Structure 1
C-alpha cells in the first residue's frame, strides 16, 4: 500500500512537471521498468534508446547522494535530466526529463549523428523533423531543471488546495454584440479567401506566392486572438493548429509521401504548443508555411503517374540502400520494362540518372561540412564505389567532390 501511494505521488509530480515544461517525463523503478510516462515526442526507431539505457541511468544515480542530478547524453545526441529516488523507503527508481538538445545547429548535429551511427540516408529528413521539434536548452536552463527535480523529489508530496476570487458575471450589450457578429462575418470571409489562396500556393510549391500571402493571413488570424476570453495565446495556438492541418492537406494534394507529412505535422504541433508569446507564434506560423512549401518542392510526386509516383517515393525513402530498376519494380508490383518507359516519360530521366541526381544532392550537404571523408559520404548516400561516386558527381556538377568541398569552405 505504501509503495502504491508513493508511486502515485511521484506520478503527480511527473504530471505537474510535464504540464509546466511541456517536456517528456518518465518515471522508472529500480529495475528500469517504466511506471509512468507523459510524452510529446515519438522517437524514431533508428535513434530510440536501447532497453538497458534506463538501467544505466539507475546505476549512475544509485551511487550518488540524493542532492545530485544526472545529465545523460546518449549516442544519438539526445539529452536527459534525471534524479534518483533512493531515499524513499516505499519506492526506489528515477524520474527522467527529456529528450532535449543543447545545440541550435540541428542540421550539423544530424549529419554527425548519421555518420557516427551509420544511419541510412533515407532517414535524414525524418530525423531533421524530429530533432527540430525538441526543446533546445542552454546550460543554465538544463541545470535549473536538474535543481528543480532534486527539490521536487526530495520531500514528501503535499496535496495542494486551491481557492480563487468570486466570478463576476459580464453584462451583455446586445447592440454591440450584433455589430461584432457583422464584423466577424467579414473577417471570416476574408480569412477563408486568404487561406484558400495560400493552400493553392503551397500545393504548387510556389514560394514567392506563399511569401506574398502569409503575412496578411497571419494578421487576420491575430485578429482572432480574443476567441478564448482572457487567453489570446491559447486562441492563437488553436489557429496555429488549424494552419498546420491546412498546410498538411495542401502538401498532401501535391503528392508528398505521408511519412514526410506526418513528421513535419508532428513537429509543428509540438512547437505551436510550446510557444508562449504572440510574436513568436506569428514567426512560427510563417516558418511553417515556408517549410511546407519547401517540402512540396522537394518531395512532391503528384504530377507523376501513379506508377512513377510509387517508384519515386520508394527511391526517396531508400536512397542510402542499393536500388535497381528490378528492385523497385518488384516492390511496387509492376513490370520493369513498363516502369522504365513510364519513368522516362514522366521525369525525362531513366531511373539510374534520377537516383544519382538525388544521391549527389544529398552528398553536397555532407561535403559542405568539410570534415567528413569522401569514402564515408559515398557510402552514406548509396554509392558503393568511391571512384564511381566521383565520376557521377563530376558529371552532374562539373567539379569533383573534393573541389566542391573546398569551394564551400
Structure 2
C-alpha cells in the first residue's frame, strides 16, 4: 500500500471508529482549520489557532504523532508525515466537560464572559468523548501492521487560543455563576423527569427555564432560539440515553428534531416544538427503555423495533439470537408479559394509531408501511387490540 493510501486508510479508520472530524491538510494551506476550534464559536475572526498549529508542525520532527490538549481541555490528534501534509483529527474530549463545574472552571481559567456560557455548553455537549487509551491502542495496532511505520507519539499541552477579554471582577463572576448554577439544577431535574418518562414533571421544569435570559442576547433572535433548542435536543437525548435506549432510536429522534430546528424560521413555533420534543422523548423512554430486561430480551426488542416496518415472526426473532424458539418465547413472555407476537402486534398498532391521527393515509397504505399488506386483517387486529375499528378510533379521537 502506498503512503498516500495509508494516510487515507488511517483517516477513514479513525473517522469510522470515533465520532470526530478527520482531515488531511497541506501545511501551507490551513485557511479553514480554525473553523474546528472553539475560538470560531466565541470570536468571529481569529487566526491564532491555525498559526499555532502551523508553528507546531514546522518545528516538529516528521513521522510523529501528537496528542494535543489545549487550554480549553479540548484534544486534537495530529499525524505529521514525512511529506508536506498531515492528518488532523478532532476536536474531541477525553472526559465530559459539558457539566456546570467544568464549564465554570474553563470560564475562570480563560477569563471568558459569562454571557458565553450557553455557547460553551452547546459546544462541549456536541463534542465526542473519546477514551485516549483506545486511541493509543489503535495507533499501536496500525504501527504493528506497518500502516504508521516508526512514528513516535508525543503528548503536548498547548495554549491554542489567544484570550483577549475584558476583566471581570470575582464578585461579578460569582453572581453570574450562581445564576447559571440555578439553571443547571433545573436542567438536571428536567432530564431526570424525562429519563423516568414523566412528561408532566419535565414540562414543569422546562417552563422554569426562561429562554429570553439564557445568553446569546446580542445575537440574532431567531438564531438564538435555534441555539437554545439545539441544546434542549441534546439534553433530552442524553436523558433517554442514560436509561438504556438503543443508539438507533437515539439517533432517530434527535436527528429528526435537529432537522426541524434548523428548518424552522418562525419564532412563534418554538414553544410548541419544545413541548412536542419533551413528549416524544418521554414516549421513547416508555417504549424503548430496556434496563429491566436480560441481554437476549434486550436484543430481541431492539431487533423488533428496528424492523417493525417489515413482516416479523417469533421464529425470525429467535433465529436472529440463535436460540430455540420455544425456549426464547417462554423467556420473552416471562420478562415482558407479552408473547413475541403480541409485542410485535402492539408496536405495529401503536404506529397505526399515530399515523391515523397525524396523517391522511388510508388503512391499506398504513398497513404497507408496517409490513401488513391485508387491510382486512389489519382492521381485525386493530379492533382486537383497541376494541374499536380504525375508523371508529379516528372518530373518537377527533
TM superposition score normalised by structure 1: 0.49
TM superposition score normalised by structure 2: 0.50
